[in-house]
Structure 1
Amino acid sequence: MIKPYLAVIADSFHSALSSRILWIAMVAIWIFLAALAPIGYHEDYTTTFRWFDLDNGTQMKAMLARGLVDPEESETALGRLARTFPEDIKRKLRQVARGEDVRIDKGALADSLNESLDNEDWYDAEAWRTTVRLRELRELDEIPDDEISEPERRRRARLRIEAALPGVFTAMSARSITLSYAGFDFPAFFLIGKEQFVSLINQFVVPIMMDWLLGFALIFLGILVTASIIPDMLQPGSLHLLLSKPISRTMLLLSKFIGGCAFVFLCVSQLVIGLWLISGFRLDIWNARVLWCIPVAVFLFAVFFSVSLLAGLRWRSPILSIGVTCMFGAFVLVIGLIGGYFDALVRAPDRISQLSFDGQDIVIATRGGELKRFDSESNQWADVIEGDFRRRDLIVPPVRIAPGKIATARIRGGRFNLYGSGSLDLLVLDRSKDWKPNPGLRLPNGTRRLLVVGNRLIALNNTGLMATTIQQVLDESGIEDDEPDQTSDDRTTDSGTDSEAEDGSPDIEVSNIGVTAWITDLIRMQGGATEAFRVILPKGVTLTDPVRLDVLPDGRSLVVYARGRLMRLELPGGGGGGGGDDAQGATATLAADLMLDDNDAARATMAAAGRSVLLARDDEPVRWYQADSLALLAEFPSPDDQTVVAAEGLGATDRFALLTTDGSVRVATRSGDRVEWVTLPQSEVTAIKYDQQSGRLAIAHHIDSIDFAAIGPDATASVTIERAVRPSLTSWRSVDRYVITPLRTLTPQTGELSQTVAALVSGKTSFAIGDVANDEQEVVQLKIVRPVVSCSLFLAVMLTLSCVYFARRDF
């Protein structure tokens, strides 16, 4: 019974093999593989500076200008390095020091630094002794000059330059991948190591190949070759001969369909297996999961071939079959583009990224750079600070500073440049004024996080930690504290004294003339102390990205993680309401210090709760530390091999809530060296925040909905939803839900099959991308099941219609 059907399939092959297009495609595949075969790579130290390595040009200009004009910096690492720049750049830097608005091209700065890599006359061991040297630099410094290789020497020179200019450069991998072709290096190289290069190939290159090489070129050629199979079968002599055999019409049609798919299977197999062998032999990437591209590509072809099949039955013309299939492909493409447009421009900007609370009032920051509050009367999110996601503004996460008062800031263009444009003012939102933002104190440039510790407001930027008093914040913004809890000794004014700030910079009111005034302004320009904020980092402690910090429940200690270093800082005055000057400017004390591996500036997430600290870094086990001594208590793999993107300590309970890239929240409880996980019911979670006032965990999910969950005290973490926020849809969101989403559901999601391939090839269903220094990381959740289901249903419907039509029609 099987032989007749095998004969039909073989006949499909004979028909396809007679096509000239097929042979042209086969030759093109082998020429393409032969042309790709000489590709290679080598891994070197990351040495060369490029313009986009300079994460903050404003800060770099200010630091170099200070190194030139400040006599005290003359023989420091900064001063010695600044003198190596060409005369035209030094002239512009002196203009910067005088307060002039001078533009210096980042490319010119990078070129000057690259010249310094070859001539290290600027280096002095004593001058660099006071800089923060990462473990890699310390190890390279131990190699004698007569034994160090040239790549190692250049790498050491780059690290010395980075140490002299902390906070200026984007965190980069210690290794770089350079591609070559037939022994000649490409002019471009990837500033990533081998592991990141493999992830790049699996998560981005393979899906692109699936979309264009397999999903467009080969599928289109396959349709051209196989479009004549059904019309040729329907020729009177051919069809009568086939129906004379003991086979049913349905099985005959399905055999022809399988024959066309098997033919494409052979063509796709040649290309994919060839690419896999080249990537293995030439790039040392032996990933057998790449072969999943073969069945997925054939499945994708089957979806389009089912349309060609029905069109061939109806009109018996290969030209019309090709035309109808192309129109179907265009329709699917347009629906996919519209869906992507709504995902990027309607849904994504409304996603909650940060939360803050004051009683029943909720203030959120969104991915689109907006600040909103929940209006219970209209059951909608009302704009507090409108944003334009195209400008990529950055909202500093809002924090409650007093009853009815929430503080935040907006950095215009902050996602591109942490310093943004212009000065950065603290914005205080007041409930009594309908949460309208009131500008207040000038924040240190580049502030990315605000924390409240006792009566202090602490600002984190890429140069360190600075503090002021809550009362001064309220006074400067013209808002009276509804429930004052500060003593009069805590208040400071702008009158100033002749004293110096903790970082050694004089107050601007006193030093308002001569070079000292320039230096003061330069310190502020590069992110140093302002009139109100004073540096509180202990002497000799410098923060290197990625930086994460949290407040311990004792209200007087901070836990800080800075690229391989975990620290506990105790603030003076106990974090209470008194303390006078301690509350504003006195430095913290380094109470505990733990050095970890640098881990190539991997993404890190940290939280504090009770007497514990939780630290999660990419590709490492999650670690649980004792807060006082930073002793390791337990370590365990990340739940379900997902990346932790946010963590919240649950008050004084020594438990943590972890948000992972799959959009799930898990509560972790430790028992000895064992950790138990409980997964909460919410899905598509975008942010979490523990509300200290109510003791509830706020879970933002499904774009802009929030659940306030009370977590039970036992290890089972029983959950009670005490409040649920479900805002009404806006107009465009309504269009998305009731028009675009049903349309996408009914249309086969052929374009999203590349995400299925990415998941199969990489072995990950989700991952985080973006700057490791930024707390707001973009999470990519790959759609795996939806495209397979939608395409399968469409394929089943089309084949059913074709079989019914063929069985009932008299040909």
Structure 2
Amino acid sequence: MRPYLAILKDSFREAIASRVLLVLLIVTTLVLLAIVPISLTEKHRSQFQMGDFPNPPALVAAIRRQTQAEGPSPGKQIIKLASFGRGRPGDDDDAPRGEQILARGSSQPLLLVAYLQTVLDKPEFYEPAAWEGLELSEETASLTKTDAADLSAEEIRRRNRLLLEAAYPQLISSDTAREVYLGYATYQVSFPLPVSKDGALAWTLDFFTDYVLGVFGIMIAILVTASSIPRTYEAGAVDLLLSKPLSRSGVFLTNFVGGCAFILLITSYLIIGMWLIGGLRHGYWNQRFLLCIPLLLFLFAIYYSVSALIGVIWKNAIVSIFVTVAFWCFCFLMWMVKSGVETTIMDPQRLIRLVAVDDTLLATNQGFGFGANRQTKIWGEDTQTWRPVLAPSSAPAGRGGFTISTASAPVFDPHKKRLLIIDMAGDVIATADDETTTNRCLFVGDESGDWNRTMWAYVPDDVMNVFVTHDGRYILVGATGIYEVSSTREVAKQAKQIDAKEGVNDLNRPISNSFSAIGPDNWSPYGAVSMNSHTAALAVLRGQNLTIYELDQDGHYNQQSSTELEADNAQLIAFGDSAIGISFGDGHVAVHDAKTLKLRETYQPFEENRVVQLKAAPDGRWLAAVFEHRRLWLYDGSNNTASEPDVENQGDVSAIAFTSQGGLAVATNFDHVKQYDPESLATLRLFHPSLETGPRIYWYLVRPIYSIFPKPGELGDVVTYLVTEKRTSSDAAQGSQPVVKQLNIWQPLLSNVAFLSVVLALACLYVHRKDF
């Protein structure tokens, strides 16, 4: 053992003598000193972001309604004071600029965010008469009592935001978090970061470790250590070593460990320094971050094993560096090809919504960012493919020719055998009462028309949910009330929007007065809603409140019962015959009795992973949920039990739907669907489309090659897990609803361990058989 320890000591003596160690320590110290001035300042939230408006059309409708009512109101203050650029061709030149923006705000949430943002800076925004009768929080009341001249710019923005939250509850998310501003020394950026302080620190450590150290740091380490192995096997030096009773493989592995130990010293100094800066400077003590030390050492060992093997064979440091860099480039290229094919070809085809349509399925694909090029498709049994249906004749176009989806989830009417969908109509018209306007329309499509959409009736601007009752009625639920769509088009003869100059038959145009309010007088904006398929009763979530509305003999909805939930972050709801499922932002699911509303059980099957889809079976027995990391969860109401069913590709589930026959359709593998019996999990039917050229290349070429080679780049998932303590990550580029992926932790570790073992074994075999 002593000779091998002597070899390790010699490697360190050589590093010290050549001053390589000293230079690296100085550079590392300078990096740490450069990090120290970074600051993260927390302030109360005073600006708007995309996620603050859960239902933009409903918010626009509420503002419009206030502007058209008598007396002062928050809506009139917004129109009066907000400003945002110049108009565009097609805007109503006679309408105020604010109303022009609102006319487009329903379909362009980013525009609405920017428009309302301009209100926050106005000191004169608060007018007591406009907020008369509204309940203001203690903080809001305190700020409004202070003269605007005595408030700072930040306090004015804070006050105005709180006033808007009070004016439009449920439509503007309540301010529960704090904004974080990034700074360096005395400079501070003017816009907040979209994460919390701890989240920003975790992201910074993750980014620095994964990309800066994981790429540039490792390459520098390879440059520094590349000459160690070749120099050991130069003529003269190797003769002296091998003249002693030492194992050739032992000598090689000792040299390899010596290089790793040298990098371990530098890595430990840097990581511990960053950890101390995060704790002492920002109060962020994340002990798991220290586990990045062995992880980075492991990543270095993978590339260093290639450098060492080449160094033994060619005994040339330059060749070792060149081959190692080429290996890194090849691994990166393979990752780029796989990611590129998935991003541009496979992921846009991923099914994110399923709807049962008699004996077949309707599906909606993911599309690109913000729903661009999103399509609704129906399964064709004869062609074994997903065929696009309900395609709009025109849609808002984005850059690059993409079309932006503004449609609601499609609904199937089993009575008239047609599909329903709510989407932008393209023009703004006045409704029958001449007091409100709308540009949203109910479209229908049936098999006789090849499932092409036809405009049926204009609906209120704030409506986002359409339901079909057990007796065939169309119910619309919006922020301002509950409506029913007329079942006949006779009222079209009295429609006021017919343009005689176009010479269009009025019976072929959508009608504006084809809906009537059937909701309760005390209706208020809501967070989520679900309908019982047998009774047409509605379950509505509002903050921490669950309310049930039922139809009376006159066909109007009235409040039947209500209860307070155990938490105020309820997000999704599913209304079955015996149970009501409610998902919360912290990942837990509560099951309430459908009749008494009493809490039956609370489940949290996947830590803090949130539910993205929650469905109830038509027979009322089952509740099914898809979590954001694409795992399926099932609740059996007959015996009050829950489980994680053993379905194919569990962990890649993107959509679910219960069929009218009681089956459970599960979408996995991008665009594949398998229908199960929920009780036995027996396969009932397959919906596997024929592979086109792009998917065929992915499944039979790109994916197999990528699986064979090592994946050092995927160790970034392990870094993310160590730093954030989360097994999922979100891709915000996919739009307002980020796509969350399960972090692959063990697979890259095992793959890279296997690669490292094979390379070192080959090197040992070479030095054992080589006659030096």
Change (3 A) 1:25 1:646: same
Measured in 2, the distance between the counterparts of 1:188 and 1:392 equals 27
- Could you report, residue by residue, the CA deviation over 1:712-741 in whole angstroms, capped at 9, with x for unpaired residues? 3xxxxx322221222221110000001100
Amino acid of the residue matched to residue 198 of structure 1? Answer: D
Q: Does 1:163 align with 2:175?
A: no
Q: How much does 1:87 deviate?
A: 12
How far apart are the structure 1 equivalents of 2:386 and 2:482?
32
CA 1:178–1:753: 2 relative to 1, 3 Å: same
Which amino acid counterpart does residue 514 of structure 2 have in structure 1?
A
Equivalent pair of 1:96/1:102 in contact (CA under 8 Å): no
Partner secondary structure for residue 604 of structure 1? strand
1:710 aligns with 2:644: no
Structure 2 gaps of 5+ residues are 106-110, 368-373, 393-399, 427-437, 501-510
| Gap runs ≥5 in structure 1 | 414-421, 476-491, 497-506, 513-528, 574-578, 713-717
1:59, 1:678 → 2: CA distance? 36
Q: Describe the superposition over 1:525-550 as per-residue Cα deviations: whole angstroms up to 9, x where unpaired.
A: xxxx9533444443343225xx2221
1:383 is aligned to 388
Alpha-carbon distance change, 470 to 30 in structure 1, aligned in 2, over 3 angstroms: farther
Q: Does 1:744 align with 2:733?
A: no
What is the correspondence of 1:324-723 to structure 2 with a 5 Å cutoff?
324-368=323-367, 369-384=374-389, 390-403=402-415, 404-409=417-422, 423-445=439-461, 448-454=464-470, 455-460=472-477, 463-464=479-480, 466-469=482-485, 471-472=487-488, 493-496=491-494, 508=496, 530-544=512-526, 547-573=527-553, 582=555, 586=556, 588-595=557-564, 604-619=571-586, 621-639=588-606, 642-669=609-636, 675-682=641-648, 683=650, 684-691=652-659, 693-712=660-679, 718-723=680-685
CA 1:66–1:569: 2 relative to 1, 3 Å: closer
Structure 1 residues 470 and 287, CA gap change in structure 2 (3 angstroms): farther
Instruction: For 2:590, give the aligned amino acid.
Output: R
- Matched AA of 1:619: D
Counterparts of 1:241-280 in structure 2, within 5 Å, are: 241-280=240-279
Equivalent position of 2:689 in the other structure:
727
Give the C-alpha shift of residue 629 in structure 1.
4.5
Q: 2:191 aligns with which of 188, 191, 198?
A: 188
C-alpha contact 2:497 2:512 (8 A) present in aligned 1: no
Q: Deviations over 1:247-279 (max 9, x none)?
A: 211111111111111111111112211111112
What is the letter of the counterpart of residue 603 of structure 2?
A: F
Residues 54, 591 of structure 1: alpha-carbon distance in 2 compared, 3 angstrom cutoff: closer
Write the deviation string for residues 660-712 of structure 1: whole angstroms up to 9, x where unpaired: 2332222224699x754352323111111122x21121111121222222223
Q: Please list, as runs of the form range in 1=range in 2, the aligned pairs for 1:137-148 lying within 5 A after superposition.
A: 137-140=136-139
CA distance in 1, matches of 2:619, 2:96: 53
Contact 1:355 1:364 (C-alpha < 8 Å) held by counterparts: yes
**Residues 568 and 628, structure 1, Cα contact 8 Å, conserved in 2:** no
Asked if the contact 2:483/2:519 (under 8 Å) is kept, the reply is no
Structure 1: distance between partners of 2:25 and 2:698: 43
Q: Structure 1 pair 397/293, CA: closer, same or farther in 2 (3 Å)?
A: same
- Cα offset, 1:378, TM superposition: 2.3
For the 8 Å contact 1:207–1:755, the answer to whether it is kept is no
Q: 2:71 aligns to what?
A: 74
Amino acid at match of 2:451: W
Equivalent in the alignment of 1:483: none
Distance 1:31 1:144, change over 3 A: closer
Contact 1:661 1:767 in 2 (8 A): no
**For each residue in 1:190-228, what CA deviation from the matched residue of structure 2 results, as whole angstroms up to 9, or x when unmatched?**
354x4xx434544x4444223321111110110000000
Query: What is the rounded CA distance, in whole Å, between the counterparts of 1:644 and 1:275 in structure 2?
Result: 35
| Cα distance change of structure 1 residues 706 and 401 upon mapping to structure 2, 3 Å threshold | same
TM-score by length of 1: 0.79
* Aligned-partner Cα distance in 2 for 1:93–1:797: 75
Q: 1:439 to 1:730 in 2, by over 3 A?
A: farther
Q: Distance in 2 between matches of 1:762 and 1:260?
A: 30
Displacement of 1:353 in angstroms is 0.9
Matched letter for residue 73 of structure 1: E
Quickly say closer, same or farther: Cα 1:111–1:471, change in 2 above 3 A.
Answer: closer
TM-score (normalizing by structure 2) = 0.83
For the 8 Å contact 1:76–1:128, the answer to whether it is kept is: no
> Residues 102 and 624 (structure 1 numbering): CA distance in 2 closer, same or farther, change over 3 Å?
closer
Structure 1 counterpart of 2:387, one-letter code: A
Instruction: Provide closer, same or farther for how the CA distance between residues 787 and 51 of structure 1 changes in structure 2, counting only shifts above 3 A.
Output: closer
> Cα RMSD between the aligned structures?
3.9
Distance apart, 1:12 and its partner CA:
2.6
Tell me the distance in 1 between the aligned counterparts of 2:161 and 2:286: 34
> Aligned to 2:521, what secondary structure does the other structure show?
coil
Q: 1:794 aligns with which of 755, 760, 764?
A: 755
Whether the 8 Å CA contact 2:621–2:638 is kept in 1: the answer is no
Which residue number in structure 2 is paired with residue 759 of structure 1?
721
Shift of 1:597: 7.8
Give SS of 2:514's match.
coil
